[in-house]
Chains A and B, each alone.
Chain A
């Protein structure tokens, strides 16, 4: 069965960096676009970034452009989100999600990893 397991969250000071990872299993990872979505009490759900199967297409929300970098390792079935210059407003639960083949709905999600940016 499809499984997505995030890791790498934690407490970081403003201006700091974190790297999130998502380990995928149960499907042909390279066939799917993958996404990072975050959820915070103040801003609800926000689609942060996504990457195509071969990494040829990458998109970022304006709120993270220039600070976050999405990448993937298809051989290891891993998705990453490198987060630099973190701000208090980046505090959220970060979910890794698979993009549905028939649409841009997100058909499988991980359990989420909490990122807290605070001094």
Chain B
């Protein structure tokens, strides 16, 4: 099973600043990686798939990059609604696994 490790566990950022979240895979997942956002009491929402393709309706301030084992989600200018939990997930081979999450906190 591929283990996904996210860092940091908590990221404190001020509105308007850039937020950079990291995700590392224990072995290569090629470009088979997705990112999700989850707010309290809600289901996760797909933000990015294929490392860098934004899902329908996702604002351009969200961008993804990386390949193989190292991936990054960048939020270019944080809005109040962006403070939430973020998860990465690979789908390179079954079982598809999630990272443990990064909490994006208001500084």
Contact = CB atoms under 8 A, between A and B. Distances in A.
Contact of A107 (B46, B50, B87): B46
Interface residues of B, number: 24
Secondary structure at chain B's binding surface: helix, strand, loop or mixed? Answer: loop
B83 interface: no
A104, A108, A109 — most chain B CB neighbours (10 Å):
A104
Contacts, number: 64
Interface string B27-51: 0000010101000000111101110
Contact of A104 (B48, B91, B101): B91
Interface of B: 32, 34, 36, 43-46, 48-50, 53, 55-56, 87, 89, 91, 94-101
Q: Which 5 A-B pairs have the closest CB atoms?
A: A104-B91, A105-B49, A109-B43, A105-B34, A45-B98
